[in-house]
Amino acid sequence: MRLHRCAEVGCHELIKLGFDYCDKHYQSRMNDYQNRKSEADKLSSKTLRGQHDIAERNREYNSSVRHELGHEFYNTKQWERISEYIKQRDMYTSSVDGRVYGKGDLIVDHLIPRRLLNTKAEQYDVNNLWLLTKAQHNHKTAIENKMSDNKLKHLSRDWWIKILKD
């Protein structure tokens, strides 16, 4: 097997042909690349073009990937009407921090996750729906993924507010 030296200056490790860097330097360079990309994405998201690109990626994701994941429930006319009703009922105010947000900044969320509800009537029950920001929704979803289904069924709105405020 033919070998050559790592392309990193001062590194003498031998690696297979077809690779430029040893594992150590490859990982180091990949981390640097990801950090630079993350910073560039943050800066880009502050421009109109960057915001347009993010909206386009979200639109593409919603139209193609979400259907495959079983999220067609959220694209029904009935859900859209109920979602709009909840936003108007709560006056575009986050249920956690009480701040008013723009129309696209809030997500109508099920207190008891939809997968634990048996009937369509339970899934559309307005008493089980509340408004969260995207960050709060992501935080709640991460917590839900770590909890048992039995415990999730019995958590109150006040408990969630306390946890999500932290």
Q: How does pLDDT run across 40-93, given as a tens digit for each residue?
A: 988 988 999 999 998 998 888 777 766 555 677 888 899 999 999 999 999 999
67 falls within a domain: no
112 falls within a domain: yes
pTM of the model: 0.60
Percent of the chain with pLDDT over 70: 96
137 falls within a domain: yes
Q: Domain of 151: which CATH number?
A: 1.10.30
pLDDT at 68: 54
104 falls within a domain: yes
Could you write out the DSSP letters of every residue in 76-139? SHHHHHHHHHHHHHTTTB-TTT--B--GGGEEEEESS-GGG--SHHHHT-GGGEEEEEHHHHHH
* Mean pLDDT value across residues 115-138: 93
162 falls within a domain: yes
What range defines the domain where residue 123 resides? Answer: 76-166
pLDDT tier for residue 36 given thresholds of 50, 70 and 90: very high
36 falls within a domain: no
Number of domains within the chain: 1
Q: What is the mean pLDDT of the chain?
A: 90
pLDDT at 70: 60
CB atoms within 10 A of CB 93: 15
* Mean pLDDT value across residues 141-165: 92
Task: Give the three-class secondary structure for 17.
Answer: coil
